[in-house]
């Protein structure tokens, strides 16, 4: 019975074969390797109370990750200071800028982006903190304005819409801030 079963299995294997002959092993080079590259971005920190640009590690170059890195800087010991100590980035929302004014999205009349930054923290955000957030966000050319809202235990506080040009008086000597 076992001989008969073995013969039957051999016949079935022959009938079920795909008809492709096996080939030799072919060397196709080394295996693919993912090369992770560290992301970094410029943020504005304070040196002697003045805005200065520094490169910090980030998860990506997206606005949310760059601003998250800006807020995390205050938690690390270093030479530069930040006015964001005690504050936490809650959320960032990108929206079209200029839509309310009848601006259309075409090549001859482009629409930029407005970044709405929501920050949580006690007290009121100082002007230097607003400058750090705004000027860091404005390093991305597509972001034309930054709207900041601070939330507290008493509720939200609208801090207005800003561009970095409002804070050029806070630039350290030799530092060119974005518009």
In the chain, % helix, strand, coil (3-state, to 5) comes to: 25, 35, 40
How is the chain split into domains, by residue range? 39-170
- Residue-wise pLDDT for 89-129, tens only, equals 999 999 987 655 545 455 555 668 999 999 999 889 999 99
Residue range 130-141: average pLDDT?
Answer: 96
Task: Dump pLDDT digits (tens) for 69-83.
Answer: 999 986 666 667 899
Give 92 or 3, the one with higher predicted confidence: 92
- More confident site: 179 or 29: 179
Mean pLDDT, residues 147-170: 96
Inter-residue contact 48 to 83 (CB < 8 Å): no
């Amino acid at each position: 019975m076992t001989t008969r079963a073995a013969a039957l299995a051999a016949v079935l294997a022959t009938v079920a074969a795909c008809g492709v002959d096996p080939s030799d092993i072919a060397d196709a080079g080394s295996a693919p390797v993912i090369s992770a590259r560290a992301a970094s971005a410029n943020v504005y920190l304070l040196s002697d109370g003045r805005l200065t640009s520094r490169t910090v590690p980030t998860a990506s170059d997206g606005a949310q990750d760059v601003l998250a890195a800006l807020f995390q800087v205050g938690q690390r010991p270093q030479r530069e200071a930040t006015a964001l100590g005690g504050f936490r980035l809650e959320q960032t929302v990108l929206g079209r800028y200029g839509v309310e004014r009848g601006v259309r999205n075409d090549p001859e009349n482009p629409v930029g982006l407005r970044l709405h930054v929501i920050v949580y923290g006690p007290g009121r955000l100082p002007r230097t903190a607003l400058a750090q957030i705004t000027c860091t966000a404005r390093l991305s050319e597509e972001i034309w304005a930054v709207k900041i809202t601070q939330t507290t235990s008493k509720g939200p506080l609208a801090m207005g819409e800003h561009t970095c040009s409002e804070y050029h008086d806070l630039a350290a000597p030799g530092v060119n801030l974005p518009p």
